[in-house]
Amino acid sequence: MSAPTAILQMLCPDQPGLVRELSGWVAANGGNIVHADHHSDQGAGLFLSRIEWQLEGFGLPREAICPTARALAERLGGEYKVTFSDDRPAVAIFVSKQDLLWRVRTGELPMRVPLVIANHPDLGPIAQEFGAHFEHVPISAANREEAEARHLALLAEHRIELVVLAKYMQVLTPQFLASFDPPDAFHRLINIHHSFLPAFKGAQPYHRAWDRGVKLIGATAHYVTEDLDGGPIIAQSTMGVGHRDEVDDLIRKGRDTERLALARAVRLHLKHQVMVYRGRTAVFE
C-alpha cells in the first residue's frame, strides 16, 4: 500500500496566480506534491483544482490541515474539501447484488459497506455474507414519507458518507435529498441507469431499443438531483450491438455496461477526482 496522502479540492472564482497560490501553500508547509490537476472554465468564470501531496514530512498535522485550507478558501472566496487517501468512508448501498460488494472485498473500491437497504427481502443473505447490516424497508406511495424517515435514521446510525443506488427502482423525494445531500460541489448520492435516455424512458427500454434496431448500448452513472436521471454525469460505458443480438443479449450487455460505469463512478468519487459545478462535472483522472 502506498504512503498516505492528503487531497485538497478547491472551487473558486477564476483569477491570476491561483496555481501558484495553492501549490505554494503546500510547498510552504513542506509538502511533496504527487498529483496536481487544474481547470479554468472561462465561460463560468471558475477555477477548479485538485492537489494531492504526501503526508510524510508535511509541516501540519492532519487535524490542522482542514482549518488552514478553510482559511485559504475563504480568502479566495471558494469552496474546498480536504480528504486523505487512507480514509475508508462508510457507504450504504440501496439494493445490490454481488458486484460492488465483491469489488470492496478484493480491495478495488476503498470503502466500507456497513449497510445495505432494499425494498425487497431477497438480498438479505448476500448482504450478510459480506458483513453488511441488511434492512428491508418496503416503500410505496402510501408510506414513502415514513420509509424515507427510516432510511435517514439508518444512514445516520451507520454514519454513512455516500449512498450508491444500484438498481434501486424508486424515486427519492426532494425532502430526502435536502436532508442527506444538501447542494454543493461535493455530492453524496450516485445512481446508474441505461444510456437510452431520453429516447427510451420508462418500462422495458431494452425491448423498445431492440425494436428500433439500436447499434450502441450504454450506461451512465451520475450524481442524484431532483432532476430525475438528469444529475451531473460521472462516468459512462458503451458496447456495440449487432443485428444478431436479441432482447436478452441487449439486457445482458446493458447489465455489463451498468456494472462497469457504476464501479468506475464510485471509484472516481472515492478517489476524490470529481467536482461538480453548474450542473456538470470536472473529472480529474
User: Mapped to the 3 state alphabet, what secondary structure does 12-45 carry?
Assistant: EECCCCHHHHHHHHHHHCCCCEEEEEEEEECCCC
In this structure, the number of other CB atoms found within 10 A of the CB of residue 268 comes to 19
Picking from 114, 168, 164, the residue whose alpha carbon sits closest to that of residue 137 is 168
pLDDT at residue number 133 = 94
CB atoms within 10 A of CB 156: 11
Active-site residue, 229 included:
yes
In this predicted structure, what is the pLDDT of residue 95? 84
Task: Kindly state the cell numbers that stand for 8.
Answer: 485538497
Terminal alpha carbon distance of the chain: 20
Query: What gap in Å lies between CA 62 and CA 84, rounded to an integer?
Result: 9
Catalytic residue among 41, 99, 229, 245: 229
Please answer whether residues 41 and 277 qualify as being in contact, where contact means their C-beta atoms are separated by less than 8 angstroms. yes
C-alpha cell at 237: 460505458
pTM, two decimals, is 0.90
Chunked mean pLDDT (size 10), the chain, 285 residues: 91 96 96 97 95 97 96 96 96 83 91 93 88 92 94 96 89 91 81 82 84 90 88 93 92 91 96 92 93
